[in-house]
């Protein structure tokens, strides 16, 4: 019979059969026995061996005995799945994870694969016309998914519940669920990573990058097992994800684990599960252990900053980006900086999302705050002079943590906003809170704390410093009280700085802890016990979050935790970077330069090897430096820090009533109790940001200026003189002449020249600080004061040309002519004498050494080691001379321009002789017989400008001579037996005229002074010739000169008033007993003065006869 080509008619399937067929495809199993293979050995319709279908013969027999159809349906699914899973992985059963073949599938792989196929089948039947059939199918699929989730969870809780194929343990995995959530292990990811931050992982069918879970699987798993069972399932996953990050560097594929963690925490139940993990905040007192073992620690550790303990992961970022820096082009280094910052921002954005999710609810928020507090508590010794890296968390972790907290603070950083009002000073004073502030140095420190600033090796220096400090504070207190008594009720307005404080003028409130956002919440209850004392704007006392009692709101806790983290992290790393710049590698760089100069005849055999060794160390330090700079010199990070400290200074100023002067006396307790590092860190951050282009773009600086002006000159409010000296550095960096662009220069000029508070008080406070830094007490104080005074001189020179600042300067000189300003003049002269004397003494020695080095033949005959030693000493002396002359030039310039308007203090009896002797000495050095010894080749490299210096000295003579109506200055010039030379004056005038250095009228004034001095010298010689029988009690016991104004000290000793006043300018003690002494304690000795006057009159009469 011929073949007609027609297919036999298909028998319609029942709804039950449709459900059975769909479940077979989903679950890869069937009820019954496998069919016999065909005779030709080929697969028969996908059934039997090799088809991927597992046949449940035992269940078929059971159903047959129960007279039930051998079809898969909702009623038999649970029994079918139990049988299927109890059989273990089928040889050819493939899952979604591709785990088929000889190894078979694990229960979890089977459940995940089946769940995914259920989703796919559900999509296929969505358009089925038979609604009853569709309903049956969807119900069966839902039942299947529910059971798959249940068995997946049970298999994760009880791994031995079902047989599973034996496999090697996956790298770094304690839960089989981890690979489905986070993708492949780090070892594979690292091999696949194509570059900085490369993922090497595609997005699977799941809900997060790298996840291979079907959509809805995890959500259903979480819902099914929420509670203790969920902890048992997910805690190992969190452990795995955290462990996977440990070997990954900033350039590695950290995004995979971080994305997985972020996705998991998007489930509220998993967020709760995460913070309940034993290792979320493990119990330890060691910061390094907390970093290594806490779940978030490995994420926070990822950084470009080198870590000597845990290293920085693979690939090594410092080697890839900054190795052999001397061989890298600037553009290449800039590209590396961009790569570092891009990867860092990806990391911090992911971690920020993690924290944002965890801070949503009260329970998880409290756990996060406790974790942050634990990080701070276990790492308080990061503030020590030497960090124990083995016990303290890494720099990278704390820099990352600081960046994250700054982001959290953003919603309340506007000082005028209502949220900032919730920052409560009582948080610092509480005794049972999460953080302990009691051991931190306070702004207004105790005597013991002040002693810690000074040289511990010198007890006498400590005692001297403390006495000077107390004396200075007493003076300041008297000045403030006197000023306050004469001030108006409103005080002086703060100009640009006044507006910001208004937003914090009201009472401080703390937010509640139960809102949906950490930035919401009602004000805390008033009346806390243990308030900050009188004048406190805060609420009251009570414990913090960790110790019972009233709880502080999130804003309050976040603010203070951020301040502590920045102090221990960002600011500490800034300090280390500064140390690196100043010292590390300096000796090696110098050694390379000196050794390279030794090349030539007679060079050591190992010279090149030694150069290479030193150069390698130089490169190593440079690489280390570049890693730090890449992390820290980020304008975005610094802008965030500056905004935070803007809020800090505005918040602190509200304790003293806002941005205005005078300050209340004494300092309010709230102010005095705050940690000193709050202010120190604000100033340090401004210093760093001011050095980087664009870091201050768009930021308000007027209130920072107000803050600096108010407290820079007040030891009553900030005892630490080093901290007040740092404020000067900030102002110097802001000077228009130091600005990187004309636009910035104009902005800074407006800040200095249009700020009302600065125009009245900046110059006087700079002069006060010039005096105060004389008494710092540290072992390097002698040199530190010169650096600070140079910065002050730089600022004062600029401010002198601003009319409002010059007026304030002149006003202070008149008001404090015999007081503070006179002390400033005395120190200015002392410094000038010392610095110029030191420099001019070394210049001839440098000249001699240059002559020796210039004779190459003779120089190369010297032994190599001797040449190296002499070269190093020459470089050191050259550096000292350059520094001394730079500082001395600034001081002489300051005397020169200021004496065009301010003369009286220089002509006072106790000062005029000192001024005259200084000028005479330098005039003699510059035009006297030894001046040829100062002629060196290229004097500019030493900052030595003899013609300019001479013109300034002559100008000072002329400025003072204009106002020397009683010729007191001329007499002092001629009375200087050490340096006065009559012939020096015409010689100086000749040099000035020959080079046209000064106008003619100045030279005429100078020569007129020379004439008065010559006449005074002649008269003094006549008087001295006749005063050969001066009674001993007429002589000053300190200088052995005839007293003109004798005074009696409290000790009973009699001295000449100008002599003792000059002594008190630098040492406020009785020179005979070392007891405290002030000018007010001097008693005029009228009886002795009458006898001296009579003695002089008698000799004058004899001379006129």
- Whether residue 4 lies inside any domain: the answer is no
One domain for residues 374 and 465: no
The bridge status of strand 1046-1048 relative to strand 1083-1084 is: antiparallel
3-state secondary structure of 286: coil
Confidence of residue 164 (pLDDT cuts 50, 70, 90): confident
Q: Which of 437-451, 527-541, 772-786 has the lowest mean pLDDT?
A: 527-541
Contact 690, 730 (CB under 8 A): yes
Q: What is the pLDDT of residue 1020?
A: 73
Number of domains in the chain: 5
581 Cβ contact list (under 8 Å, min separation 6) = 625
One domain for residues 603 and 715: yes
Confidence of residue 1018 (pLDDT cuts 50, 70, 90): confident
Q: What is the pLDDT of residue 881?
A: 92
Q: Which of 496-505, 961-970, 992-1001 has the lowest mean pLDDT?
A: 496-505
Give me the CATH number covering residue 1080.
3.30.40.10
Q: Which of 50-54, 315-319, 625-629, 913-917 has the lowest mean pLDDT?
A: 50-54
One domain for residues 984 and 1017: yes
Q: 1009 φ, ψ to 5°?
A: -60, -40
For the chain, percent of residues with pLDDT exceeding 70? 80
- Whether residue 522 lies inside any domain: the answer is no
One domain for residues 631 and 715: yes
- Whether residue 534 lies inside any domain: the answer is no
Confidence of residue 603 (pLDDT cuts 50, 70, 90): low
- Whether residue 576 lies inside any domain: the answer is yes
Q: How far is CA 283 from CA 135, 279, 290, 373, in A?
A: 54, 8, 8, 12
Expressed as residue numbers, the domain containing 488 is 447-512+567-813
Domain final position from 1024, 1052, 1083: 1024
Where does 158-185 have alpha helices with state H? 177-182
Confidence of residue 729 (pLDDT cuts 50, 70, 90): very high
One domain for residues 219 and 292: yes
Q: Is the pLDDT of residue 351 over 70?
A: yes
- Whether residue 234 lies inside any domain: the answer is yes
Higher pLDDT pick, 1096 / 181: 181
One domain for residues 884 and 797: no
One domain for residues 876 and 951: yes
Domain final position from 157, 175, 191: 157
- Taking only the tens place, the pLDDT of each residue in 645-666 is 999 999 999 999 999 999 998 8
Q: Is the pLDDT of residue 375 over 90?
A: yes
Mean per-residue pLDDT, 786-792: 94
Q: What is the pLDDT of residue 97?
A: 35
Length of the chain: 1105
Confidence of residue 935 (pLDDT cuts 50, 70, 90): confident
Rounded CA separation 344/350 (Å): 10
Highest mean pLDDT among 188-192, 334-338, 1016-1020: 334-338
Find the helix packing angle between 676-691 and 570-582, rounded to 10°: 60
- Indicate the average pLDDT of the chain: 83
Higher pLDDT pick, 1100 / 30: 30
Rounded CA separation 469/294 (Å): 46
Q: Is the pLDDT of residue 820 over 50?
A: yes
Contact 329, 245 (CB under 8 A): no
One domain for residues 249 and 145: no
One domain for residues 799 and 899: no
Q: Which of 158-172, 323-337, 469-483, 731-745 has the lowest mean pLDDT?
A: 469-483
Strand order in the sheet with 1083-1084: 1054-1056, 1046-1048, 1083-1084
Domain final position from 393, 425, 460: 393
One domain for residues 650 and 794: yes
- Whether residue 118 lies inside any domain: the answer is yes
Q: What is the pLDDT of residue 538?
A: 34
75 Cβ contact list (under 8 Å, min separation 6) = none
Q: Is the pLDDT of residue 24 over 80?
A: yes
Q: Is the pLDDT of residue 781 over 80?
A: no
One domain for residues 858 and 969: yes
Q: Which of 735-749, 752-766, 949-963 has the lowest mean pLDDT?
A: 735-749
Could you count the other beta carbons within 10 Å of the beta carbon of residue 49? 12
Confidence of residue 473 (pLDDT cuts 50, 70, 90): low
Could you count the other beta carbons within 10 Å of the beta carbon of residue 612? 13
Q: Is the pLDDT of residue 743 over 80?
A: yes
For the chain, percent of residues with pLDDT exceeding 90? 52
Rg (CA), the chain: 41
- Taking only the tens place, the pLDDT of each residue in 1079-1089 is 889 999 999 98
Mean per-residue pLDDT, 1068-1078: 89
Highest mean pLDDT among 385-389, 456-460, 827-831: 827-831
Confidence of residue 259 (pLDDT cuts 50, 70, 90): very high
Higher pLDDT pick, 479 / 24: 24
- Whether residue 950 lies inside any domain: the answer is yes
One domain for residues 764 and 857: no
Mean per-residue pLDDT, 842-857: 86
- Whether residue 420 lies inside any domain: the answer is no
Mean per-residue pLDDT, 736-741: 89
């Amino acid at each position: 019979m011929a073949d007609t080509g027609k297919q036999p008619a298909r028998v319609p399937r029942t709804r039950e059969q449709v459900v059975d067929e769909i479940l077979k495809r989903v679950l890869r199993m069937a009820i019954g026995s496998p069919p016999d293979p065909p005779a030709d050995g080929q697969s028969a319709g996908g059934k039997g061996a090799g088809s991927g279908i597992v046949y449940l013969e035992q269940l078929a027999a059971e159903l047959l005995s129960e007279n039930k159809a051998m079809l898969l349906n909702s009623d038999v699914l649970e029994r079918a799945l139990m049988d299927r899973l109890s059989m273990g992985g089928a040889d050819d059963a493939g899952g979604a994870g591709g785990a088929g073949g000889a190894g078979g599938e694990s229960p979890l792989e089977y459940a995940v694969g089946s769940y995914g196929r259920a989703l796919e089948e559900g999509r296929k039947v969505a358009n089925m016309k038979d609604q009853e059939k569709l309903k049956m199918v969807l119900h069966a699929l839902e039942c299947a998914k529910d059971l798959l989730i249940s068995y997946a969870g049970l298999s994760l809780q009880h791994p031995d519940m079902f047989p599973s194929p034996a496999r090697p343990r996956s790298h770094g995995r304690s839960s089989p669920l981890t690979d489905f959530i986070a993708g492949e292990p780090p070892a594979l990811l690292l091999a696949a990573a194509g570059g900085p931050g490369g993922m090497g992982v595609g997005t699977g069918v799941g809900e997060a990058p790298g996840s291979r879970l079907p959509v809805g699987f995890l959500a259903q798993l979480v819902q099914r097992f929420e509670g203790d069972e969920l902890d048992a399932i997910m805690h190992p996953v969190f452990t795995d994800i955290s462990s996977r990050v440990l070997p990954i560097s900033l350039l590695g594929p950290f995004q995979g684990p971080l994305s997985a963690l972020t996705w998991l925490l998007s489930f509220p139940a998993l967020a709760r599960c995460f913070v309940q993990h034993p290792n979320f905040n493990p119990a330890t007192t060691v910061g390094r252990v907390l970093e290594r073992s806490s779940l978030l620690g490995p994420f926070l550790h990822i950084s470009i900053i080198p870590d000597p303990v845990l290293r920085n992961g693979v690939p090594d970022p410092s080697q890839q980006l900054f190795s052999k820096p001397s061989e890298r082009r600037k553009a290449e280094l800039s590209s590396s900086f961009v790569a570092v910052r891009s990867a860092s921002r990806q990391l911090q954005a992911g971690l920020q999302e993690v924290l944002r999710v965890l801070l949503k609810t009260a329970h998880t928020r409290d756990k996060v705050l406790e974790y942050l507090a634990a990080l701070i508590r276990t790492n308080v010794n990061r503030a020590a002079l030497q960090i124990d890296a083995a016990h303290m968390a890494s720099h990278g972790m704390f820099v990352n943590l600081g960046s994250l907290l700054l982001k959290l603070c953003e919603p309340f950083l506007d000082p005028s906003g209502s949220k900032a009002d919730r920052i409560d000073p009582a948080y610092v004073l509480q005794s049972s809170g999460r953080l302990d502030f009691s051991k931190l140095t306070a702004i207004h420190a105790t005597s013991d704390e002040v002693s810690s600033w000074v040289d511990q090796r010198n007890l006498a220096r400590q005692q001297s410093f403390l006495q000077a400090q107390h004396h200075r504070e007493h003076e300041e207190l008297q000045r403030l009280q006197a000023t306050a008594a004469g001030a108006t009720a409103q005080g002086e307005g703060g100009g640009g700085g006044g507006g910001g404080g208004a937003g914090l003028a009201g009472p401080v409130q703390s937010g509640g802890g139960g809102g949906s956002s950490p930035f919401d919440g009602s004000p805390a209850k008033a009346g806390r016990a243990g308030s900050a004392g009188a004048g406190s704007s805060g609420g009251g006392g009570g414990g913090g979050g960790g110790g019972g009692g009233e709880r502080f709101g999130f804003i309050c806790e976040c603010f203070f935790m951020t301040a502590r983290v920045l102090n221990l992290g960002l600011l500490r790393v800034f300090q280390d970077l500064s140390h690196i710049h100043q010292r590390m590698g300096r000796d090696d760089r110098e050694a390379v330069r000196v050794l390279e100069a030794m090349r030539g005849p007679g060079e050591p055999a190992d010279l090149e090897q030694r150069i290479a060794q030193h150069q390698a160390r130089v490169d190593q330090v440079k690489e280390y430096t570049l890693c730090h700079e890449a992390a820290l010199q980020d304008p975005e990070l610094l802008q965030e820090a500056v905004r935070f400290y803007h809020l800090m200074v505005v918040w602190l100023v509200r304790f003293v009533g806002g941005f205005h002067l005078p300050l209340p006396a004494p300092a309010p307790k709230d102010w005095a109790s705050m940690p000193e590092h709050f202010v120190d860190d604000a100033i340090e951050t401004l210093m760093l940001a001011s050095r980087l282009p664009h870091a201050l773009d768009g930021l308000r600086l007027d209130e920072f200026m107000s803050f600096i002006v108010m407290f820079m000159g007040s030891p009553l409010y900030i005892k630490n003189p080093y901290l007040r000296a740092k404020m000067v550095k900030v102002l110097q960096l802001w000077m228009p002449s130091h600005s990187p662009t004309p636009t910035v220069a104009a902005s800074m000029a407006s800040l200095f020249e249009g700020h009302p508070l600065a125009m009245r008080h900046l110059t006087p406070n700079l002069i006060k600080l010039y005096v105060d830094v004389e008494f710092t007490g540290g072992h390097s104080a002698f040199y530190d004061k010169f650096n600070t005074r140079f910065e002050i001189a730089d600022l004062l020179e600029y401010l002198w040309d601003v009319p409002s600042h010059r007026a304030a300067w002149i006003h202070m000189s008149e008001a404090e002519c015999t007081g503070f300003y006179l002390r400033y003049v005395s120190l200015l002269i002392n410094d000038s004498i010392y610095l110029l004397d030191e420099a001019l003494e070394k210049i001839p020695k440098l000249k001699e050494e240059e002559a020796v080095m210039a004779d190459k033949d003779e120089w190369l005959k010297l032994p190599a080691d001797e040449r190296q030693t002499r070269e190093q000493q020459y470089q050191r002396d050259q550096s000292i001379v350059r520094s001394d002359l730079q500082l001395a030039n600034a001081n002489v310039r300051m005397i020169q321009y200021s004496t065009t308007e301010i003369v009286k203090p220089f002509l006072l009896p106790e000062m005029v002789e000192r001024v005259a002797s200084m000028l005479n000495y330098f005039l003699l050095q510059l035009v006297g017989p030894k001046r040829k010894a100062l002629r060196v080749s290229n004097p500019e490299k030493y900052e030595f400008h003899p013609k300019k210096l001479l013109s300034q000295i002559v100008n000072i003579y002329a400025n003072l001579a204009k106002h020397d109506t009683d010729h007191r200055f001329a007499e002092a010039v001629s009375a200087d037996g050490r340096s006065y030379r009559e012939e020096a004056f015409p010689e100086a005038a000749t040099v000035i005229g020959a080079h046209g250095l000064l106008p003619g009228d100045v030279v005429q004034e100078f020569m007129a002074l020379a004439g008065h001095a010559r006449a005074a010298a002649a008269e003094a010689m006549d008087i001295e010739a006749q005063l050969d029988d001066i009674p001993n009690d007429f002589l000053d016991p300190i200088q052995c000169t005839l007293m003109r104004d004798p005074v009696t000290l409290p000790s009973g000793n009699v001295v000449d008033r100008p002599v003792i006043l000059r002594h008190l300018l630098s040492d406020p003690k009785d020179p005979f007993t070392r007891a405290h002494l002030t000018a007010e304690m001097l008693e005029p000795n009228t009886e002795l003065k009458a006898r001296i006057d009579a003695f002089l009159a008698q000799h004058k009469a004899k001379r006129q006869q």
